[in-house]
Structure 1
Amino acid sequence: MALEFSKNNDSHSSFYSDYAEIVVVRHGETAWNATGKIQGHLDVELNETGRQQAAAVGDRLSRDSKISAIYSSDLQRAFETAQIIASKCGKLEVVKDSDLRERHLGDLQGHIYHELAKTNPTAYKAFLSKNEDQEIPGGGESLVQLFDRSTSALVRIGLKHKGERVVVVTHGGFIRALYKWACPNGRPAGKVLNTSVNVFHLYDEYKCTLKVWGDVSHLSETGFLQSGFGGDRTSG
């Protein structure tokens, strides 16, 4: 989806009077992303590529409108990304929020994706199921559970910051759930690349619109445009 980021250099103006502008960013790359290993709720730090990606998106966001707050998943790959962004955007405090975590993927977590059909066939079948209420063995969430958690978290943050611009650093599966909410009849979401910028306007608990999807223009000159595993149907 080719949507362009609308810039507004005034710190607070009527531009945001009816809604919160929520800039949702996927975390930078991890070693597990690069090797195709499923993370879910397991806590994995950024690799050096991920840190460079986070610096690039932080530089980019620092040139846009003023950010009022930064929220992050409490998993370190997201929190470290958020801290790097915060260091570029006025040294804001990063608020940890466990509701911003990736989908819990149960018994699949910690395993290589392309080996799952052999090593975890039952959980893998559940993961591929078209039944969105299907939970994954080992405590994994269904797509419906992920959707409800993701949208509730965005509404909670957005209503708190109506009239402001905030950043939320989270995970690929979480962001894909938000896309489904904002664009229920849209094209397939595609891959959510590491440190991609996705901008939502939240008016109330019933109305959320998508203004920017999958923007990684900040990576085009860094050599870090190629992303590792995750951010699509295999997200985790």
Structure 2
Amino acid sequence: MCSTAAAAAAAALLPGFAEVVVVRHGETSWNASKTIQGQLDAELNEKGRQQANAVGVKLSKERKFSAIYASDLQRAAETANIIASSCSLPKVVLDPALRERHLGDLQGLTLDKAAKQKPAAHKIFLSSRRDQELPGGGESLDQLSKRCVSCLQKIAGQHKGERVIVVTHGGVLRELYRRANPGAPRGGTIHNTSVNVFHISDPGDPWIIKNWGDVSHLKDTGVLKSGFGGDGTSG
């Protein structure tokens, strides 16, 4: 959806709904090296900072936002602070409920090393089963979904009739997509600093996706070709 269309969609926000613009954090060196981050606290690389600046400029041209929230992990918080500066928002509200899935024994390993060194955890990681926790204190997909969906619903409830920004992670975004489209495919590749727009009303009501996977602001910086962490994996 182009900026003009996005602005029109925002203007047409139905009574009782909040517009929640969810942005994946900028690129990290761990994304680029296909290292599983989970809840380990990697920072943005230079390209990630350029992406954050680009999405901040994009969002600054849209109708005013009321607030900005972010995962408290450094890569999301730094992205959010850059966006907040561009959009003249005074404070980023950090919330650990917006963190990436805890990936237990796999955190800090590349996918190749994970398969060899932690085969049991690796098998669960790639499984479609949603109720299996990862060894080493990791979360199941159901646990991830419960915390991030309830967090976004709470944010929306505090901002009915308003627009807010949320900066989070690829695994979280896939669960939010699943909440809006139960039983649908996983939403494709979720690139760093992609813009994804939800209209959310009361708990239990359907969520509406108004825009998904917009990376039109990344023409100059580009996106990570592998999509690691934003494809079929979390991390």
Q: Return the TM-score normalized by structure 2.
A: 0.93
Cα contact 1:4–1:212 (8 A) shared by 2 = no
Residue in structure 2 matched with residue 8 of structure 1 by the alignment: 7
Kindly provide the CA deviation profile for residues 45-68 of structure 1, in whole angstroms up to 9, marking residues without a partner as x. Answer: 000000000000000000011010
Residue in structure 1 matched with residue 153 of structure 2 by the alignment: 155
Aligned mates of 1:19, 1:175 — CA distance in 2 = 19
Aligned mates of 1:8, 1:28 — CA distance in 2 = 23
Query: Aligned with 2:6: secondary structure?
Result: coil
Kindly provide the CA deviation profile for residues 81-116 of structure 1, in whole angstroms up to 9, marking residues without a partner as x. Answer: 000000100143100000000000000000011221
**Structure 1 residue 17 displacement after superposition:** 2.7
Map 1:101-116 onto structure 2 (within 5 A). 101-116=99-114
1:230 aligns with 2:226: no
**Structure 1 residue 169 displacement after superposition:** 0.1
Moved segments of 4+, more than 4 Å: none
Residue in structure 1 matched with residue 212 of structure 2 by the alignment: 213
Cα contact 2:32–2:224 (8 A) shared by 1 = no
Task: Decide which moves more: 107-116 or 13-22.
Answer: 13-22
Task: Decide which moves more: 27-36 or 126-135.
Answer: 126-135
RMSD: 1.8
Task: Decide which moves more: 84-93 or 39-48.
Answer: 84-93
Aligned mates of 1:152, 1:46 — CA distance in 2 = 27
Q: Return the TM-score normalized by structure 1.
A: 0.93
Residue in structure 2 matched with residue 45 of structure 1 by the alignment: 43
Distance 1:76 1:131, change over 3 A: same
Cα contact 2:100–2:172 (8 A) shared by 1 = yes
Aligned mates of 2:182, 2:79 — CA distance in 1 = 29
Aligned mates of 2:232, 2:79 — CA distance in 1 = 22
1:23 aligns with 2:21: yes
Residue in structure 2 matched with residue 82 of structure 1 by the alignment: 80
Aligned mates of 1:35, 1:198 — CA distance in 2 = 25
Amino acid at match of 2:6: K
Query: Aligned with 1:15: secondary structure?
Result: coil
Query: Aligned with 2:13: secondary structure?
Result: helix
**Structure 1 residue 16 displacement after superposition:** 4.9
Residue in structure 1 matched with residue 199 of structure 2 by the alignment: 201
The share of aligned pairs that are identical, in percent, is: 57
- Residue segments in structure 1 that go unaligned for 5+ positions in a row: none
| Aligned length, in residue pairs | 232
Aligned mates of 1:212, 1:14 — CA distance in 2 = 14
